[in-house]
Amino acid sequence: MRHCMLDMMLLVRLLLSFLVGSSWVVFATVMAEKKGTTFGGVLGGFPSTAAFSFLFIGLNQSSEIAVEATVVFPLIFAVTNTFLLFFSIFSRKGFLIGIVASLIIWLVSSMLIFLSGFKDFYFSLLFGLIISFLTYFLFTRKLNLQPFTGKVTLYGFKEILLRGLGAGVVVAGSVFLSQIGGPVLGGIAAAFPAVFTSTLIILNRRRGLEFTRSASKPLAFSGIFTVIPYSIVVHYSYPVVGVWFGTLIAYLAVFPLALIAYFAAKHT
């Protein structure tokens, strides 16, 4: 009976992650097209897959296991941000080459971290910050990615539906892996570039390669300024105030940082 109840709860939470994840990607990509790559990119990089994963791990298992999943997360997510960096580099040869090469680099790097078996939060945070700084430096100093302005676009119901379905499947799949893989693998799955990948695919289809490459910088900046700090707040707040209040506190804490990410992306 208890097993059936847990299975039902997992299905409900996967459905919620699908609905919220798909809605978020649709909203972020629509805003990128209407308001420009900087605004839309910062929205797309705001905590989503990671937040869903930590929340659902905490609800479906325990806040302690969710905290364990944050141990490896800063390092893994810093690697996830390099996914956007490598995409912006390799996509000079074409969109598909950029996506495939970046995903392969992310997968190999993440598995090496997983196989290393380390479980030191401060080590993860230190090297995550170092990698994030290098990513930020290369985006601002070595890659000349100019922002694109938005334009008014009309969307049909079919376009919105297909956009949401594709993104929702990717996000829900990432959340599912984080539920069944244990704390360390859960942290890696939480950092999977589900929203990044979905956003890049949609923007490339709608606005072309250069628009998509331009959006990769604010996406990365938003991740650096908000997602890693989000995981830090979760790490310390979940054991004290629980999953729901910890999630609320984490979002409140990183909202001002999203504004910093926006201005950093706009003026660099």
Please state, in angstroms and rounded to a whole number, the distance separating the CA atoms of residues 119 and 166: 33
Which pTM does this prediction carry? 0.80
**Following CA atoms 56, 24, 259, 82 in sequence, which dihedral angle do they give, to the nearest 10 degrees?**
80
Note the pLDDT of residue 87: 93
* Widest pairwise Cα distance in the chain: 58
CA distances from 259 to 10, 46, 65, 206 (A): 34, 11, 31, 26
**Residue 241 token pair:** 């105030």
* Rounded-to-10 torsion of CA 144, 129, 244, 167: 40
Query: CA nearest 226: which of 37, 52, 77, 12?
Result: 77
SS3 state of residue 49: helix
User: Would you state the pLDDT for residue 252?
Assistant: 93
What's the pLDDT score for residue 229?
A: 92
pLDDT at residue 112, rounded to an integer? 85
Would you state the structure tokens that stand for residue 212, as one six-digit string? 């998509």
pLDDT at position 32 = 67
* Element (DSSP H or E) covering residue 204: helix 194-207
Phi-psi bin for 76: left (phi > 0), alpha (psi -120 to 50), beta?
Answer: alpha
Give CA–CA dist 199/142, Å, rounded.
Answer: 23
d(CA 267, CA 68): 37
pLDDT score for 133: 92
Q: What is the pLDDT of residue 154?
A: 46
* Mean pLDDT per 10-residue interval, the chain, length 268 residues: 58 75 71 72 75 78 84 87 91 92 90 80 92 90 70 54 65 68 65 77 82 85 89 94 93 90 77
**C-alpha distances in Å from residue 128, one per residue of 75, 98, 120, 242, 255:** 4, 23, 12, 25, 20
